Structure 1
């Protein structure tokens, strides 16, 4: 059976299943996966938290860059003195004019503090903040992708469960018809009551399976509702009508957001080492101030000062050395973490490709299985109506058909889930999300 025939058969089968499902849920609007993913991106609280963290790191970067420019402050002072030697000095100091001194003075002015980054500490601080900001940005992007795929996973689960439910509903419908035939056969003596009980027993078992599926559907709907920050998700689910199309450009890429995040974290740890090493080196700074001093009862003066300060750290009990050692250990950990994530990413991609191919084969087999089970069920139903087989044989045929239909719906949903996993391993958004972007473009 070629792939085109498989797709045509799938469209026919799932068209019928989707029609039955929409009849059951005709009172609810239908939400396809692309619209659900759009809501996830817009409303997911976890994504909002990640983006807020990225904004915080950007603000921290701006604060770090501000250290290059130093500080400029304005000030105003009001001084009151109560010292006999200051207020009424015995004699004026040498080479100082006999200016009057006021015990009540006020002043205003401005001062500038300019650090000279001779030890590279400010540069390392800015580099560390820049790397952390980039890491937070890539972390938010990785969170976005994973939330999109979580939404797609829950949606695929619903598709799988709804397909199974539709198959079981058809089995219930067929068993009810067979019960009518069995009742008529029992009345005329063509069938023993125990045969009729076998059909009824199997019907009750199927009803139990339906109840279990309904519980799982409710659970997955609750998961989607929590993901999109809504009280409930009651919309009908669009069933997949055809298998995914294979992509030729899916390969390993180091531009996956989680890998880029780990790489930036490694670079940030390296900058942190430089920053802490700079604290063991001399520092140099310039401070300038200009002020006007005025007495309440005496004339004022304009004053200025320039101070250049160099400070050499000598000993602090080994604290700075220990901080550097701690940062170096953190850098080695970040390097190892990045390497481990790269290896894991390659493994995930290879596994996703293998799963995709296996899902394709499984789906093709499931489509063929439905065709064979449908024909077998038709033949057995005719034979049962003519009294040529027992109820047990009929029930087995109907169960086989329901199992084949369920396997087909599950296989198609699994194939789409495998396609989603393959795109995640390659650092891409789900195809349904790309469809949303295309529809929103002008």
Structure 2
């Protein structure tokens, strides 16, 4: 079978391909207001649903502090009760409370078989836990540490959202550059198709050269469709990262530029990670809360002291009332709780052991994540330079090969190989740029140094 027949299925696309413009107009790429990376990050940190959720958790933590502190304060209550009884003891006591006892009330028959009596009872009571075995004091400390932990987790969530928005922004940029590379390749391929057509018309090459050039355009056109769909997905991902509707359109205004390289060695980055990672610091707060829980359960074995007072009004029909008051103090010591308090202490110790094990695992993970992001950034930075040189060499190679093919010194296969090499070198350069930018975002995230000022131009400052 002749070689050119192996490409015959692609020939059905030729009428459509040859009618396509050199550069497609991709609406989502050009429409909409300009969007810088700084603006994208600002939008994400302000309106992403994850931030809203963590804000609510911080509000909940603040409310728990207020609840815990309320344990230091006295509690006041008022109650109103109505009852009607023929119970001998309660009937006589009710008359006493109403200050309505008369001499006939001491008649044994009346004492044993009293008439029904009703009573309206109003009570204003106050209780004050002067010492509750330290439960409130320890609870306040835990609630305050919980508020700090919630704030730290909010910070980490904001940093994660910022990193996600930056990575999504770079994803759109690489999608645009990929589309641009394919368009450049299509332009070059059409020029070479014309060259092959001229040489074929002049009888200098066989028809297979012409067919190979057309198939190359067919392949690039399919690549362009894929690049367009990939760019559309990247734009939707960026909108989601910013907390915007996924179909909103923006024109990205920050270019995909190399920026600065990393000169700082690895160790300061690792130290920054352990010092600034908000989620790690939040887990340290959880460790402190668990340690406080042990002290809280131990204090449960101590006595408690409460003050109380009641002011009471009793009346049968509100035509006449009687009042009284009660003041007192109570000391209570639990002698036996069925092992409950001791079991609570063992449970708290187990929880602390669990958190400390997770902290060790998290610390090792942070060290690995920092090392990985650092080395990936260094690797990508080196690839940028190498890929840039490769692009220049591939462009020069294609120029030479094109001239030699035009003069009949090389075959169409050599020309197409040179095209593919240039196409791949351009993609490699943009991919290296993208990888460096995303590695910088991840490095700033894992070290806890990323914030709203992140631009992806170079490494963040290590404090």
TM-score by length of 1: 0.84
Q: Do the aligned partners of 1:164 and 1:406 also contact (CA within 8 Å) in 2?
A: yes
Residue 141 of structure 2: aligned partner: 127
CA distance in 2, matches of 1:259, 1:219: 33
In the superposition, relative to structure 1, how do residues 87 and 161 fare at CA in structure 2: closer, same or farther (>3 Å)?
A: closer
Partner of 1:283: 304
Residue of structure 2 equivalent to 1:189: 203
Compute the displacement of 1:22 (Å). 9.1
Q: Secondary structure at the match of 1:168?
A: helix
Task: Give the alignment partner of residue 358 of structure 1, picking from 369, 372, 379.
Answer: 379
The correspondence of residues 250-265 of structure 1 with structure 2, limited to 5 A, is 251=269, 252-253=271-272, 254-265=275-286
Q: 1:172 to 1:308 in 2, by over 3 A?
A: same
Q: 2:227 matched to 1:203?
A: no
Q: What SS does the aligned partner of 2:449 have?
A: coil
1:42-441 equivalences in 2 (<5 Å) = 42-83=46-87, 103-117=117-131, 119-227=133-241, 228-238=243-253, 240-246=255-261, 251=269, 252-253=271-272, 254-296=275-317, 299-429=320-450, 433=454
Residue 360 (structure 1) shift: 1.4
- Aligned partners of 1:110 and 1:381: how far apart in 2? 101
Tell me if the contact between 2:41 and 2:452 (Cα under 8 Å) persists in the aligned partners.
no
Q: CA separation in 1, counterparts of 2:104 and 2:64? A: 50
Quote the residue 2:36 is aligned against: 32
Q: How many angstroms apart in 1 are the aligned matches of 2:329 and 2:263?
A: 65
Distance change in 2, residues 1:268/1:389 (3 Å): same
Tell me the CA shift for residue 339 of structure 1.
2.7
Q: Secondary structure at 2:276's aligned position in 1? A: coil
Structure 1 residues 295, 99: closer, same or farther in 2, change over 3 A? Answer: farther
Deviates more, 1:245-254 or 1:347-356: 245-254
Contact 1:240-1:412 within 8 A present in 2 as well: no
SS in structure 1 of the partner of residue 137 of structure 2: helix
**Which has the higher mean CA deviation after the structures are superposed, 284-293 or 258-267?**
284-293
Determine if contact 1:240/1:413 at 8 Å carries over to the other structure. Answer: no
The range that moved more, 371-380 or 347-356, is 347-356
Deviation at 1:109, TM superposition (A): 4.2
Contact 2:262 2:378 in 1 (8 A): no
**Displacement of 1:48:** 1.1
Report if aligned partners of 2:75, 2:128 keep a CA contact under 8 Å in 1: yes
Residues 293, 388 of structure 1: alpha-carbon distance in 2 compared, 3 angstrom cutoff? same
Select between 110-119 and 190-199 the one with higher mean Cα deviation.
110-119
Residues 172 and 231 in structure 2, CA contact (< 8 A), matched pair in contact too: yes
Aligned length: 413
Query: How far is 1:380 from its partner?
Result: 1.6
Does the 8 A contact of 1:190 with 1:387 survive in 2?
yes
d(CA) in 1 for partners of 2:103, 2:364: 79
d(CA) in 2 for partners of 1:105 and 1:280? 42
Q: Using the TM superposition, give the Cα deviation of residue 99 of structure 1 relative to its aligned residue in structure 2, in angstroms.
A: 8.9
Q: CA deviation at 1:260?
A: 1.1
Per the TM alignment, residue 310 of structure 1 is displaced from its structure 2 partner at its CA by 2.4
For the 8 Å contact 1:280–1:320, the answer to whether it is kept is yes
CA RMSD of aligned residues (A): 3.0
Residues 229 and 312 of structure 1: CA distance in aligned 2, closer, same or farther (over 3 Å): farther
What's the TM-score, normalizing by structure 2? 0.80
Contact 1:423/1:429 (8 A) holds in 2: yes
> Which is further off, 426-435 or 298-307?
426-435
